[in-house]
Structures are given as structure tokens and as C-alpha cells.
Structure 1
Amino acid sequence: MNLRFITPTLHGVADYTAGLGLLVAPFLLGLGESSAMAVWFSVATGLAVFAASLLTDYKLSIFKVIPFEGHLAIDLLVAVTFMIAPFAFGFEGIDAIYYWFNATVVFLVVALSASDN
């Protein structure tokens, strides 16, 4: 049984949705109680997600420069960064939970993504 059921196209949908979420969620959730960096790191990451998505070689991209496997490696780096961000930047409370939750989601999406089209 293959658990990698997220196709590159579905992954692209998730990417653009995540990018939007990273831009909007910090304001809706009132992040920034422990550090303003909690808000702006999410916004910067959201913009980077859009950029990487537009450059990835999958159906929902424009430029198709980054191979999908490279995109998955970038996602993995983002997940690890989100996991350590609360420790590195001193995030506490909802700020820390937000990053740990997002790290978990990104790890799962990477783990469940099929690299073949």
C-alpha cells in the first residue's frame, strides 16, 4: 500500500493555500504576543512559498525551474525551520504553537507527497 497519495498537482494546491494562510493567519490569530517576529516570519515564509510554487516544475507553476524533488527538499527545510523557530526566536504561547503546528503539517505533506507526475 502506497501512502504517498498527494500528487504534484494536489501538492501545488496545498502550496498556494499554505502561502495564503501564512500571509493571513498571523493577523487573524493575533500572533506576536511573545515577539513581532512571529508575525513577520510567517508573512515572509508565505511570500517565499508563493515564489517557490511559481518556480516549481508542476502543473500549477509558471516557470518550472525547480524540480519537484527539490521543492520537497525546500519544504522539508521549512518544516525543520518552523520546528526550531520558537526556540531560536523565543516564541511562546500561541506563537510557538502556530509554528509547531505548521511544522507538523508540512512534515506530513512532504511525507505523503508522490514525486512522480
Structure 2
Amino acid sequence: MKLRFITPTLHGVADYSAGLGLVVAPFLLNLGESSSMAIWFSFFTGLAVFAASLLTDYKLSAYRLIPFQGHLAIDLVVAVTFMVAPFVFGFSGIDAIYYWFNATVVFLVVSLSASK
């Protein structure tokens, strides 16, 4: 059974969806209870996700400059950053849960993504 079933194209769809979610969700969820950094870190990370997606070598990009394996490495850095952000920035409550949830989702997407 093949466990890496997320194709680069499907990964691209997930990337653009995640970028949008990271930009919009902090406002919908009223993040910022423990720190306003919880809002803006997500917002700017969402913009960075869009930028990386536009530059990744897969069907949904505008300029294929970043190899897909490099993109997966960037995703892993993002996942680790999201995992430690609550400790570094002092997030608690919904702010911390939001980042730990996103870290888990990114780890899963990366681990289930098939390389080209």
C-alpha cells in the first residue's frame, strides 16, 4: 500500500488553500487573545505560502523555480516553526491550539506527499 498519495498537483491545491486559511482564519477565530503576534504571524506566513507556491515546480505555479523537494523542506521548517511558536511567543489558549493544529496538518501533508 502506497502511503504517499498526495501528488504535487494536489499538494499545490492544499498550499493555496492553506495560504488563504492562514490569512483569513486568525480574524475569523478571533486570535490574539494571548498576543497580537498570533494574528500577524499567521497572516504573513499565509502570504509566504502563496509566494512559495507561485514559485514551486508543480502545475499550479507561475514560475517553477523551487524544486518540489525543496518546497517540502520549506514546509517542514514551517511545521516545526508552528510547533514551537506558542513557546517562543508565549501563545496560550486558542492561539497555541491554532498553531499546534496547523503544525500537525503540515507534518501530515508533507509525510503523505509523493515526490515527483
Where on the TM-score scale, by shorter chain, does this alignment land: which range? over 0.9
Identify the residue that residue 74 of structure 2 maps to in structure 1: 74
Q: For 1:58-117, what per-residue CA distance to the aligned partner results, in whole angstroms no more than 9, with x for missing partners? A: 00001000000000000000000000000000000000000000000000000000012x
The answer on 1:7 being equivalent to 2:19 is no
Letter in 2 for 1:99: Y
Question: Shift in Å at residue 2 of structure 1?
Answer: 1.1
- For 1:78, give the aligned amino acid: V
| Identical counterparts, % of pairs | 84
Tell me the distance in 1 between the aligned counterparts of 2:27 and 2:62. Answer: 29
Q: Which runs of 5+ in 1 are unaligned?
A: none
Match of 1:22 in 2: 22
* One-letter code aligned to 2:47: L
| 1:62 paired residue number | 62
| Aligned pairs, number | 116
Partners of 2:89 and 2:2 lie apart in 1 by 38
Stretches (4+) displaced over 6 A: none
Kindly provide the amino acid, as one letter, of the partner of residue 95 in structure 2: D
Q: Residue 76 of structure 1 aligns to which amino acid in structure 2?
A: L
Aligned-residue CA RMSD in angstroms? Answer: 0.3
What's the TM-score once normalised by structure 2's chain length? Answer: 1.00
Find the counterpart in structure 2 of residue 112 from structure 1.
112
